[in-house]
Amino acid sequence: MSLFSEVFVWWGGNTWGTRWYTWRHGKRVGEDSQGNVYYIQRKGIGPLGKPRRWVVYKSYAESSQIPPEWHGWMHHTVDTLPTDETYHPRPWQKPHRANMTGTPQAYRPAGSILASGKRAASDSDYEPWQPK
């Protein structure tokens, strides 16, 4: 991110405070294909009784940008770094796509007021209450 963004755009997540904390307490352990950099706490333990792990995003701080191979490591599911093993994605895994909520590419099911098409008729036996 640019110097301007780090100083004035706190919602991006990559601020001078993050950079300072990472420089003082972090040990770089790897980088993913999108340019996100992963760190682990150098000394001591975090609040969960394990060394703290964090990521410095290449662009805006959006958790959906963490790829599957790093997700398990970030959440202490596995202790082996993806850089130390050969990770092969499952056939059903798709390439990363950012969260599109609030954009024109967002998912809109049929029948939504923002999508074309008609909602499928309900086949349930629901009957609304009617006052008598």
Domain containing 67: what range?
3-84
pLDDT attached to residue 59: 79
d(CA 69, CA 132): 60
Q: What percent of the chain has pLDDT over 90?
A: 20
- Residue 70 resides in a domain: yes
| pLDDT tens digit sequence for 69-93 | 899 899 999 888 988 888 787 888 8
- Residue 73 resides in a domain: yes
Query: Is pLDDT of 67 > 90?
Result: no
- Residue 61 resides in a domain: yes
Query: Is pLDDT of 65 > 90?
Result: no
pLDDT attached to residue 19: 84
pLDDT attached to residue 27: 95
